[in-house]
Amino acid sequence: MTVDELARAAAGGDEAAFEELMRLHEKKVYNLALRMCGSPEDAADAAQEAFLAAWKGLPNFRGEAGFSTWLYRLTSNAAIDRLRRTRRRREEASLDDEALRLDAVDGAPSPQARAEGEELREAVLSGLAQLSDDHRQALTLRELQELSYEEIAAVLELDLGTVKSRISRARGALRKILIKNGNLSGYLPSKVEEQPKGGGRT
């Protein structure tokens, strides 16, 4: 069965179909939640909340955006909610550098290059943690999940111009943080930037 067929079966109450959907998506859902939350514990909770929301929402799922896109949206929202709750208990979420893999260093780097890559990765992760929820959400989906602008627009339920503008602003904010901390050297977005077209919410 395809993902859409499984989703339709699960919407009709087929628990086995939903379990298969969870198996197919659990790794990507957890990775997205981890990259947004930073903490493995928060990511696991957010992933669980996303799947619970999916199970409850499936009877009303119409499939316009596709099940995977819809699930990413639920995961993103759950991660943001979890992050906000965590920030009430501590100043900022902890970042697990071993679990969050930014491709700052390719191949088999020298010890010096590895050290510089680790320093850069730490700086970028720290900078991401300082962005607003909206900016961190958009930049995570673009740079770490490697979604297209169109996919991000579907996940966040925003128009394309708003997505491009938000990501552009997020990159600018991250650069300012890195410059301020003396860590800009070596940081380049993994995607070719596109100029935002039109207005929208940012």
Copy the structure tokens of residue 39.
Answer: 């903490």
Q: What is the pLDDT along the chain (202 residues), one digit of tens a residue?
A: 788 889 889 988 899 999 999 999 999 999 888 888 878 888 899 999 999 999 999 888 876 678 888 898 899 889 888 877 766 555 433 333 333 444 444 455 556 656 656 676 777 777 887 888 888 888 888 877 778 888 888 888 888 899 999 998 988 888 888 887 765 544 444 443 444 445 555 5
User: How many angstroms separate the CA atoms of 7 and 114, rounded?
Assistant: 43
Question: What's the confidence (pLDDT) of residue 194?
Answer: 46
Helix axes 149-156, 160-180, angle to 10 degrees: 100
Query: Based on the number of CB atoms within 10 Å of its own CB, is 139 exposed (0-12), middle (13-18) or buried (19 or more)?
Result: buried
The number of residues in the chain equals 202
Question: Which residues are within 8 A (CB) of 14 and not within 5 positions of it... i.e. 6 or more apart?
Answer: none
